[in-house]
Amino acid sequence: MSVLDVSHISKSFGNQTILNDVNLSFSGNKIYGLLGRNGAGKSTLLNIITNRLLPNGGKVTINGDTVDNNDEALSHLFLMSEVNMYSNGSKLSKIIDDTELLYGSIDRQLVTELANKFELDLNQRFGKLSTGYRSIFKLILALCLPVEYVLLDEPVLGLDASHRELFYSEMLKTYADQPRNFIISTHLIEEIATIISDVIVLDNGHVLLHDTAENVLAQSSVVVGPKADVEQYTQDLNVIGKESIGQLAAFYIYGELNDRPIPDTVKISPVDLQKIFIFLTNYTNGGNGSEK
Ligand SMILES: Nc1ncnc2c1ncn2[C@@H]1O[C@H](COP(=O)(O)OP(=O)(O)OP(=O)(O)O)[C@@H](O)[C@H]1O
């Protein structure tokens, strides 16, 4: 089984430390959601993994081989991002030919199928495409290349709602046909919540959370009821966020609930991934929710 290891990666820009001893391992043909607030270092990490950026410390390896200036190792990875690597004058069909040479092969049948579904004319020049269609073209390449790690940095930037839906469903189809690892960095957490198997949250230069989406959801709950009862019930629990309106309170918990009987006045419900993310990343930045 192929393994992509990120070991002790650190990166600073000037005196600003963006990544501080980051350790992560990707394997098992999973779909990872890479989350983090603006400026958390997600793009920096993806650029380091694909050797577009050099770290100040640490290393990235695929099956033990460094990616640093290693074309063989890098041929297992494809990073799709908003950065345009292609010249405006190039026809899409020519870019496809060149990319095929670089990666050894490309699924031509799938390229044609996806171009038809997205109504993308492959005879157009890259520079003539709208922002959304540039993303679509790069996503088609990402889905059709024979790589074990598909890294998507804000993949649906500029795509309208129906194209976003089409992309997620086509991505899942290709994943079912050819299981591989996807690492998706996005702020549209609700859109990817149902397709990711693992959640990684970067915060303040560190990996704040790395777990299966199932575990993250299982550990999260919201306790709602009269403020005094909620406060009493959640006393020794890991409260990551609080909301209150008048005497009614909602306390968000990350971790085990206790065995204490739940008061009749209090209701405990599941929490969605986006809410968990907001509270986890607010909490570490000094806040713990809003009191209205
Ligand atoms: N080439 C660079 N030179 C200087 N600073 C940089 C450079 N690239 C990134 N940074 C800084 O590093 C920090 C992390 O940027 P990065 O783009 O990795 O974050 P991100 O998590 O992808 O953010 P966003 O979600 O807003 O896209 C930011 O403060 C950014 O300004």
Local confidence pLDDT in tens for the 292 residues of the chain: 789 999 999 999 999 999 999 999 999 999 999 999 999 999 999 999 999 999 999 999 999 999 999 999 999 999 999 988 899 999 999 999 999 999 999 999 999 999 999 999 999 999 999 999 999 999 999 999 999 999 999 999 999 999 999 999 999 999 999 999 999 999 999 999 999 999 999 999 999 999 999 999 999 999 999 999 999 999 999 999 999 988 999 999 999 888 888 889 999 999 999 999 999 998 544 444 444 3
The residues spanned by each domain of the chain are 3-213, 219-291
pLDDT of residue 283: 55
Is the C-beta atom of 205 inside 6 A of ligand 1?
no
Cβ–Cβ < 8 Å for 222, 278: no
Is the C-beta atom of 13 inside 6 A of ligand 1?
yes
User: In which order are the strands placed within the sheet that holds 65-66?
Assistant: 16-27, 3-13, 57-62, 65-66
Is the C-beta atom of 53 inside 6 A of ligand 1?
no
Going from the Cα of 90 to the center of ligand 1, the distance in angstroms, rounded, reads 29
Q: Do domains 3-213 and 219-291 have the same CATH topology?
A: no
Q: Which of 193-219 are b and which e, b meaning 16 or more Cβ less than 10 Å from the residue's Cβ?
A: bebbebbbbbbebbbbbbeebeebbeb
Is the C-beta atom of 42 inside 6 A of ligand 1?
yes
Structural domain 3-213, CATH architecture: 3-Layer(aba) Sandwich (3.40)
Cβ–Cβ < 8 Å for 62, 2: yes
Site to substitute for ligand 1 among 12, 15, 16, 18, most atoms within 8 A of C-beta:
18
Please give the angle made by the CA atoms of 45, 49 and 55, to the nearest 5 degrees.
Answer: 65
User: Atom 28 in ligand 1: which residue has the minimum CA distance?
Assistant: 39
Single pTM value for the model: 0.93
Q: Which of 63, 2, 24 is nearest to 200 (CA)?
A: 24
Q: Indicate the fold that domain 219-291 takes in CATH.
A: Alpha-Beta Plaits (3.30.70)
